Amino acid sequence: MSEKEHNVSRRQFLTYTLTGVGGFMAAGMLMPMVRMAVDPVLEVGAEGDMVAVADLDELTEEPQSFPLNFEQDDGWYEAEIEETAWIYLDGDDVVALSPECTHLGCTVNWEANEDEPERFFCPCHFGLFERDGTNVPNTPPTEPLHRYEHEVRDGTVYLGRPQPQV
Amino acid sequence: MLQRIYDWVDERMDITPLWRDIADHEVPEHVNPAHHFSAFVYCFGGLTFFTVVIQFLSGMFLTMYYVPDIINAYESVMYLQSEVAFGMIVRGMHHWGASVVIVMMFLHTLRVFFTGAYKKPRELNWVVGVLIFFVILGLGFTGYLLPWDMKAYFATVVALEIAESVPVVGEMIRVLLAGHEELLGAQTLTRFFAIHVFFLPGALLGLLAAHFIMIRRQGISGPL
């Protein structure tokens, strides 16, 4: 029988099997390394605990900043992190806003600009936000300040992580 | 598809001679295990290189998680080993591979010795091979300290004592390796890390290139 009568020639067969076996071995070698490298992407985010931040009767209609302390797990490194939250009462509802400007991440302050009362002001690029966190049109930020998940238990306000409002 | 991409590049660059020159060469009968099974001894050089490639790759990936710092080194190794998916496997590859390189290199040296392949005109390649041997030992020596556990620390304490026992310049060698006059500490760890991941691998690549260029230039030595 000549080579021509076969659908797959001897050379092709060898090429396929050797490439297959070689590919399998290379994959077996590279898979653990690549899986290890992409682990942070595939990691399921841990649910953060709610942290006690303030007593309900400390809150007023005026936004006040409260410290928010929590343990941060960063791989092999654990850190005590202090964030702040702007908290106020809207009727009976508690509103807790993140001070992180949605433009480029600077820190905003309540009524920090004398010309802009009743607004959050970001000193970096003069971003402005209304009391409820809505960004003021024609200033750099393109979305409202993030809101902390919150929960009131026995007169104490607990905050989770800030979530986008849009 | 692949063929068409290759043809497109080849038509413009004429890349075929480039890889032909590297990959396409006769394997003499006396080194081909298909002809004489005992010729498998000629595989040890290639196997050494293969394991070195694994060491390079797994080492590169390990540095994504490792920090060469006395506070965090051990913690970061524990983290990558126990928390990161497949971290244990990758560290295992690097750990066991280190020993496999030494074994394969030793078998390769034995084969070269007993087939007399080091003789004229290949003396220089033997010399380069011995330099590679020392570089690999250096990699094993410096890598051993990096996990910064008790075994690593005290093995290096002993090794530095051995270095110090060299007449006249011993003290100097010890300080040069440890990076501190008395301690084996923070500066030793960063120093060993730098040597382990930059200096020695760089030297190894250069020496391996010389080793392979010479073998292609001179061909494999003849049968016994």
Question: What was the ipTM of the complex prediction?
Answer: 0.84
- In this structure, what is the dihedral angle of CA atoms B208, B211, B215, B216, given to the nearest 10 degrees? 50
8 Å CB contact between B159 and B174 = no
The CATH number that applies at residue B150 is 1.20.810.10
Cα-flanking dihedrals φ and ψ of residue A84, to 5°? -125, 155
Retrieve residue A114's tokens.
């004398």
Nearest to A35 among B54, B78, B85 (CB): B85
Calpha distance B10→B151 (Å, rounded): 54
DSSP letters along A39-74, please? HHHHPPPPPPPPEEEEEGGG--SS-EEEEEEEEEEE
| Burial bucket for residue A143 (CB in 10 Å: 0-12, 13-18, 19+) | middle
Look at residue B128 in the predicted model and tell me its pLDDT: 98
Average pLDDT for A80-86 = 91
Question: What's the one-letter identity of residue B127?
Answer: V
User: Which chain B residues contact residue A26 at CB under 8 A?
Assistant: none
Selected from 3.30.70.2700, 3.40.80.10, 3.40.50.410, 2.102.10.10, the CATH number assigned to the domain covering A47-163 reads: 2.102.10.10
Residue whose pair of structure tokens reads 């010389």 in the numeric block? B210
**Is the pLDDT score of A1 beyond 60?**
no
Q: What is the pLDDT of residues B18-45, one digit of tens each?
A: 988 888 888 889 999 999 999 999 999 9
The residue in chain A having the minimum alpha-carbon distance to the alpha carbon of residue B74 is A76
Number of domain units in chain B: 1
Mean per-residue pLDDT of chain A: 89
Interface contact B80-A36, CB threshold 8 A: yes
Enclosing domain of residue B84: 28-218
Calpha distance B59→B75 (Å, rounded): 18
Nearest to A76 among B58, B64, B78 (CB): B78
Look at residue A122 in the predicted model and tell me its pLDDT: 93
B113 three-class SS: helix
Calpha distance A48→B147 (Å, rounded): 31
Look at residue A161 in the predicted model and tell me its pLDDT: 86
Half-sphere exposure of A90 (CA within 13 A, CB side): 10
Average pLDDT for B85-105 = 97
From residue A82, alpha-carbon distances to A67, A98, B60 in Å are: 6, 13, 35
User: Which chain B residues contact residue A36 at CB under 8 A?
Assistant: 61, 64-65, 80, 84-87, 89-90
Q: Which of B101, B93, B162 is nearest to B135 (CA)?
A: B101
Calpha distance B62→B90 (Å, rounded): 7
Average pLDDT for A22-41 = 94
Kindly report the CA angle at A131 between A127 and A136, in degrees rounded to 5? 35
Calpha distance B158→B164 (Å, rounded): 10
- Domain-embedded: residue B6: no
- Domain-embedded: residue B23: no
- Domain-embedded: residue B195: yes
Interface residue of B86, B89, B91, B95 to substitute, partner A, most A CBs within 10 Å: B86
Average pLDDT for B79-86 = 95
User: Could you tell me the pTM of the whole model?
Assistant: 0.83
Interface residue of B50, B62, B65, B148 to substitute, partner A, most A CBs within 10 Å: B65
